[in-house]
Structure 1
Amino acid sequence: MTGLRIELRRSTALWAGLVVLVAGTGMLWLVTSENARWKGNSTSALLEFRVPLAYVWALVVGLAVFQGMRDSRARVTELFTATSRPGWVRLGTLATAVAGVVAVAGALLCAGLVVKVALGGGFVSIGFLPLMLTVVLALASSVLLGLAIGRLLPHPLTVPVALVATFMVATSAARALESRSPDDEISRLALLTPVLDPPSSDLVTTSTSVDLGQGVWFAGLGVAAFLLLASRTWAGRLAALVPAALAGVLAVSILPVKLSDVLVTDSIAGELVCDGPVCVSRAHADALPAAAAVGEEVLAKLAVLPGAPTEVREDTSAMAHLSAPQRSSRTVYVPAQGYPRVLEMPPGQMRLEMLAGAGVPTCSTPYALDSRDAIVRYLTAGYFNGGLTQLASDSYLWNSSRMRAELDSAWQALRGQSEREQLNRVAKAREMLLACEDSESILATLAAR
């Protein structure tokens, strides 16, 4: 313990821990907005931390490399080699001090995020624990690797090169994980870094295969780095690489290849809680009373349609930001993603969003610009509402004079029909939406003169 206290006082251990806390907090504050989704769930909060972790990771590695060069800078390498005390004992004390402090700082930062979510009224569950363990393992193993690199390559350029290289690896991995479709293949090697894109929802988390694969990799990397740090011969240093190689092969075999297998719905936060025929996720249970009242009203209005829906469900799909929403003839799905979020809208706007499309969501992928599809949503919502009213999810069409004129014309064409014909047209449009037919054809069905 005496040696550990000395290393804590004389090494960069405490400074490295301070860097993790200060840089991590500062970067998280800089890269996220006041309305960031991560504040609603402890799991998504730790996923959000993976974004600034790229910067923190690089700084930690740079400090560890600098610390690893201490013996060389003091010109005592040969002196310590000649002592009777095993070198791995002294180096182990140093590694324990620096890696331990950084690991504790990482754990404290993660715990602070969870506390912030809890104090803000967000949803907290044990689902954040695997994500926190990954962060702690990644930081600790990176410290050990940095110490080993600094001891083996005591050159003035080693620190800046290591820092820049780590940051480049992190940013390259983030780009490699970008995808436009849930079925797109991603680089498994990119998952060998602790960096991930920010979550699109507060209902997603990493899959078990990602947590397990990254845990195996960082644990193996930490073992290899310590052996490399303590080895005195080239044969020992080559042998020290074996745990990292084995861990890398095993991790790559475990890690998924598709984005839809990387991010999945949080089984705890995404569990449905119900009030009659209306269900929302457990993380959004505070919105259930309002959603239940509006949902039952919506189901009553849609009951005039043939094969009318009988339930309202929040769409908790993890990949909803990249694919067309779920649809069902018996279910009205409420999107959990997008802005503004439907469950946070006033009752009147929430009702319009559920009625749009006669209870069927658009067939377009999110953020796709399809003016005809938007007009269909306005017409169907207006039919059940008794008049056109702005949809909070699509203010662009409402505020565009050209698009508004086209909407008004289509509305007049629909309202110019008999009540029976209007109902038939809306029912037909609903069938076409369920089958994802062309939006131009659906609009023609509704607005035919």
Structure 2
Amino acid sequence: MNARILRIELRRSIAPWAALAAVVVALGFLFAFSGPWTRFPLDWGSHWVLAAEWSRFLLVFLWPIAVGAGVIQGMRDSRSGMVELLTTMPRPGWHRAAKLAGALAGLLVLGYLLVFAVGAVQVLFNGGFFTFGWLPIVVVGALGMIAGAWIGLGVGRLLPHPLTAPVLAVVSFVGMIVLQLAQSEGSVLAGELPLPSWVVLLSPAFDVFNDPFLTTSSRMDLGQAVWLIGLAATGLLFLAAGSRRAKALAAVPLVAALAIAVPILPATPAEAKVVDPLATAMVCDGPVCVTKMHEAELGKIAGPGKEALRLLGTLPDAPVKIVEFDRRLGYEEVPPRAADTLIVDLMSLPLYLATDPDDVTRALVAGAGTPSCASSRGSGASYLDDVTARTISASWFLGEWKPLKGGNIWASQETTGQIDRTWGTFRALPPDVQRTRIVAQRQAGLTCQGDQLEILTGGLAR
């Protein structure tokens, strides 16, 4: 009997259409538009946590759908004029409420999980990094869909007006956008809105972290789960309430959940992010080590890396090992460096784009085995000078002039010709002078002191 009633609710409710709308909106957004979710290193098909994070990001669109569908469904009895008739039935009101709420929430959660599953399938086909860090992110997202649907049902039962559904859906959408921008890195609203941090962190939707090595903290997951469960319980009780006293008591779970969740939630949005220790664990092939997240790249970098260490071994204080940098660089940040270790960033363009072993070795010995001293997002003249100096030193080690992969992305045709002429200037120097200047470039690269291009050319390229 219960299963039959549930099937009837599925057929006569808005649940199938709401779930379909959620799937179409989510996948339409991901596939129709280009953004960080389509590009390395935040591609939603690159590893499990990112697939989960992008699914949570989409709650900015999906939560208003859940709320609006709940309101429409919650007004059903009022629209049909059956409120007084149903109050005379011997079956408790919560029986019907549970079936209706279960049907709507079940299909909305199914739609949400389907969106995540599309990303997860891409991760499987791409051989992406697996960690269970995705699980709490998806579970809290599913709770968000349930809470949105059930609070909508409750409001629809309390305020059965034709404008309730569109108004509440629009308010939910605007609220999601504002709260997401308030916690988004680099947003003009981040830290500018007069909202306490705990209010911002109550939002079930969040902006995807800019660093793929990060995941949500346990405090963030637990605090949001408690809040969303309380919100869902209040919505369900509003739907089932038949008296004023019951309606007043329905708010108790929401208030209690808020009182419990606020002390649990992190103090700031930044503290909601933690490093995934499994992702940053090192996997090594001799002196070449990469993070567990990029273990698939070890085969690509191990051989060329050992060759790069051999070539650099001819210099004083040469590096003896290669270690991957285990976080993404900030917008104006330069990579860390150490004399005995070649610290590499596998998310940088020269290494990411390099597929040929020779190009990988070339990228590793660029700068005489030191990371770039220019900002990783730079595009000005100093950046081009840095690229030129790094290209010269890489070509000196390999004995052949060849641009670094992605190194001249900002260079015009005229600038590219100037880089070629600079190489000619350097190659015209006596071999012992070339070596001396490469050694000096390495020292400058280790401290980021001095102009490396001027060191290599003696200022003749200016």
**Normalising to structure 1: TM-score of the pair?**
0.87
Q: Deviations over 1:360-390 (max 9, x none)?
A: 2223333122333323322332332334421
SS for the counterpart of 2:251 is helix
2:392 maps to a residue whose letter is L
Matched with 1:41 is: 47
1:367 maps to a residue whose letter is R
Matched with 1:26 is: 28
Q: Is the 8 A contact 1:17 1:105 kept in 2?
A: yes
| CA distance in 2 between partners of 1:249 and 1:243 (Å) | 10
| CA distance in 2 between partners of 1:322 and 1:213 (Å) | 33
Q: Is the 8 A contact 1:127 1:268 kept in 2?
A: no
Q: 141, 146, 149: which is aligned to 2:147?
A: 141
Q: Is the 8 A contact 1:44 1:201 kept in 2?
A: no
Matched with 1:373 is: 386
The runs of 4+ residues in structure 1 deviating greater than 6 Å are none
| CA distance in 2 between partners of 1:259 and 1:294 (Å) | 40
Matched with 2:19 is: 17
Matched with 2:64 is: 58
1:101 maps to a residue whose letter is L
Q: Deviations over 1:22-77 (max 9, x none)?
A: 33333322235765622221221122223333222222221111001111111222
Q: Is the 8 A contact 1:68 1:150 kept in 2?
A: yes
| CA distance in 1 between partners of 2:268 and 2:433 (Å) | 46
**1:304-319 paired onto structure 2 within 5 Å:** 304-318=314-328
| CA distance in 2 between partners of 1:319 and 1:223 (Å) | 42
Q: 1:256 to 1:128 in 2, by over 3 A?
A: same
Whether 1:272 aligns to 2:282 is yes
Q: Deviations over 1:5-33 (max 9, x none)?
A: 33222222233333333333333222357
| CA distance in 1 between partners of 2:454 and 2:16 (Å) | 69
Structure 1 position 412, deviation (Å): 4.7
| CA distance in 2 between partners of 1:9 and 1:395 (Å) | 59
**1:7-406 paired onto structure 2 within 5 Å:** 7-32=9-34, 37-180=43-186, 187-198=197-208, 200=210, 202-256=212-266, 260-318=270-328, 323-339=333-349, 342=352, 345-369=355-379, 370-396=383-409, 399-402=412-415, 404-405=417-418
Matched with 1:4 is: 6
Structure 1 position 185, deviation (Å): 5.8
Q: 1:373 to 1:237 in 2, by over 3 A?
A: farther
Which sits farther off after the overlay, 18-27 or 253-262? Answer: 253-262
Q: 1:59 to 1:304 in 2, by over 3 A?
A: same
Q: Is the 8 A contact 1:185 1:258 kept in 2?
A: no
Matched with 1:422 is: 434
SS for the counterpart of 1:40 is coil
Structure 1 position 394, deviation (Å): 1.9
SS for the counterpart of 1:367 is coil
| CA distance in 2 between partners of 1:265 and 1:319 (Å) | 14
Q: Is the 8 A contact 2:354 2:405 kept in 1?
A: no
Whether 1:436 aligns to 2:448 is yes
Q: 1:323 to 1:133 in 2, by over 3 A?
A: farther
Structure 1 position 144, deviation (Å): 0.6
**How many residue pairs are counted as aligned between the two chains?**
444
Q: 1:283 to 1:410 in 2, by over 3 A?
A: same
SS for the counterpart of 2:283 is strand
Q: 1:197 to 1:15 in 2, by over 3 A?
A: same
Q: Deviations over 1:183-224 (max 9, x none)?
A: x86944333223233454654432333322322222222222
Q: Deviations over 1:128-153 (max 9, x none)?
A: 21121111111111111111111111
SS for the counterpart of 1:135 is helix
2:305 maps to a residue whose letter is G
SS for the counterpart of 2:144 is helix
Q: Deviations over 1:84-125 (max 9, x none)?
A: 433223212211221122223323432343233213433333
Q: 1:356 to 1:133 in 2, by over 3 A?
A: same
Structure 1 position 317, deviation (Å): 0.5
| CA distance in 2 between partners of 1:336 and 1:155 (Å) | 56
Matched with 2:457 is: 447
**Normalising to structure 2: TM-score of the pair?**
0.85
| CA distance in 2 between partners of 1:112 and 1:195 (Å) | 19
SS for the counterpart of 1:175 is helix
SS for the counterpart of 2:295 is helix
| Unmatched tracts of structure 2, length 5 or more | none
Q: Is the 8 A contact 1:287 1:344 kept in 2?
A: no
| CA distance in 2 between partners of 1:392 and 1:255 (Å) | 44
Q: 1:339 to 1:248 in 2, by over 3 A?
A: farther
2:10 maps to a residue whose letter is L
SS for the counterpart of 1:337 is coil
Which sits farther off after the overlay, 35-44 or 291-300? Answer: 35-44
2:449 maps to a residue whose letter is E
Structure 1 position 279, deviation (Å): 1.7
Q: Is the 8 A contact 1:68 1:149 kept in 2?
A: yes
SS for the counterpart of 1:196 is coil
Q: 1:265 to 1:351 in 2, by over 3 A?
A: farther
2:404 maps to a residue whose letter is L
Structure 1 position 340, deviation (Å): 6.6
Q: Is the 8 A contact 2:44 2:119 kept in 1?
A: no
| CA distance in 1 between partners of 2:335 and 2:269 (Å) | 17
